[in-house]
Amino acid sequence: SCFHAGIYRTEKDKGTLYELTFKGDTKHQFKKIVLFRPFGPVMKVKNENVNMADTLINVIVPLAKRASKFRQFMQNFRWVSISVLPLIHLTVVYFGKEQMNEVKSILENTSKSANFKNFTFIQLNEEFSRGKGLDVGARFWKGNNVVLFFCDVDIYFTAEFLNSCRLNTQPGKKVFYPVLFSQYNPSIIYGHRDSIPSLEQQLIIKKETGFWRDFGFGMTCQYRSDFINIGGFDLDIKGWGGEDVHLYRKYLHSNLIVIRTPVRGLFHLWHEKQCLDELTPEQYKMCMQSKAMNEASHGQLGMLVFKQEIETHLHRQKLSSKKT
């Protein structure tokens, strides 16, 4: 019951390293056991107590318009923040002025109702760029070194995920790239709109409801010092996609360890994706591939593609049964 999480990685020329984390005596204390299995018997490498009571996470969300999505995001954020205060800060980097007052109002009302004051609102009068927003949010922080969680407005996360975020990052040593679970289109999964369950009931990890988004690198936890030292995002990349992969590759070629593993408390909520004409051919292709992956499983999409053939077959079966 005290087991929190476990990850492992295999060093091709050495063996397998296991990191097992257990809950401690208090909410913010954990025990971490590191085991190394060379190509032979298991060896204990480390057994230590980990105290996360002073580890603050700065959740950075870039945004333009999408006020209704932000309201949904803040409903979840409010419940999560209550359980982890004061170890969480929210930074919203907003592009443009359209719907800005509505977004600020949602943020301020949530702050009052939840007694949550750890937030920063930054407004930029320019075209939306996810990489630019995250970069500005990260560099705006003036406090001590902090864990940055780069997040999108259509992401649902739990307090347990934030613990994983803290436990799998270490300044100068480790950055965390979780594999999140991405929802399929609820209208395809559950059929008629009236039969779609509530959001909380949709957050079930099953192959019929979504997939592990192992090609996405946008949601990540890393210390601000590592982000600054690595050079941040490539701000020449405009529009959708590309900036997150570029940052990920920089970490892969650095001396830091990149932790890449599926996590159960991080969900990408389905939303209709639009691929704009002004994207480069490579970006447009990536966007369309992502759009196709988000709709449904291969089997579910196949049932839609071959719907006419299935209906024709059923009709023939009915005619055949009537004749007999």
**Count of Cβ atoms closer than 10 Å to residue 84 Cβ:** 17
Sign, CA torsion 291/297/303/306: positive
pTM of full prediction above 0.85:
no
Partners of residue 149 on adjacent β-strands: 59, 221
- For residues 61 and 77, give the distance between their C-alpha atoms in angstroms, rounded to a whole number: 12
pLDDT of 117 reads 87
pLDDT of 152 reads 96
pLDDT of 93 reads 97
Architecture of domain 57-268: Alpha-Beta Complex (3.90)
pLDDT of 177 reads 97
Extract the tokens encoding 256: 């830091």
pLDDT at 240 over 60: no
Between 115-129, 131-145, 240-254, the lowest mean confidence (pLDDT) is in: 240-254
